[in-house]
Structure 1
């Protein structure tokens, strides 16, 4: 299950970057909003999956509340899931 979570973390992080650095500029600078709804929906689903998996893994991996909080916070910071995977999950 940890391997699946790492994969979801990668996808969630990538979807956030695509949303912030490709879809949003297309919408607000070049007036092309089409990509925001598609990437936004994918990112939303991946974000929910990420949080659900983190919550399930908290007890399975015996993460402290601090570790769990850091993992959840990492999902809302650009590049956060990548840093979290290297620093926190590589030790798990």
Structure 2
């Protein structure tokens, strides 16, 4: 059986890749804004980036759950991908290694998409 997300174009894997990258960037920017808030007493960055990151965080988690069902990920990989949302730069790893489109050589099954967890 082939990956259903491979024939659906951008949705949902491409959307998950974009949200994964945006969530990772917003997390790093929020950490910088937090340092500025407490170091320079300027809270505006946290006021803007806090809700933005929160929205991206929720979207990332929901999309990862959806893609994990589509690609039939093992529970370990799903939990690691969800856990990546709370570690700076970890969503970059998820996007790079687990959310790339499957090519013909790896479309043989759910465990054939690269690294296993």
- Give the TM-score, by structure 2 length: 0.73
**How far has the Cα of 1:47 moved from its partner?**
0.3
Aligned to 1:86: 96
**How far has the Cα of 1:56 moved from its partner?**
1.3
Kept in 1: contact 2:16–2:63 (CA 8 A):
yes
Are 1:29 and 2:52 counterparts?
A: no
**How far has the Cα of 1:86 moved from its partner?**
1.9
Q: Distance in 1 between matches of 2:23 and 2:84?
A: 10
SS in 1 for 2:22: helix
The structure in which a higher percent of residues are helix is 1
Are 1:2 and 2:2 counterparts?
A: no
Structure 1 runs of 4+ off > 4 angstroms? none
Quote the RMSD (CA, aligned, Å). Answer: 1.2
Alignment of 1:1-92 (within 5 A): 1-21=12-32, 23-90=33-100, 92=113
Q: Distance in 1 between matches of 2:89 and 2:68?
A: 21
Number of corresponding residues = 91
- Structure 1's unaligned 5+ residue stretches are none
SS in 1 for 2:86: coil
Larger Rg: 2
- Give the TM-score, by structure 1 length: 0.92
**How far has the Cα of 1:2 moved from its partner?**
0.2
Kept in 1: contact 2:16–2:99 (CA 8 A):
no
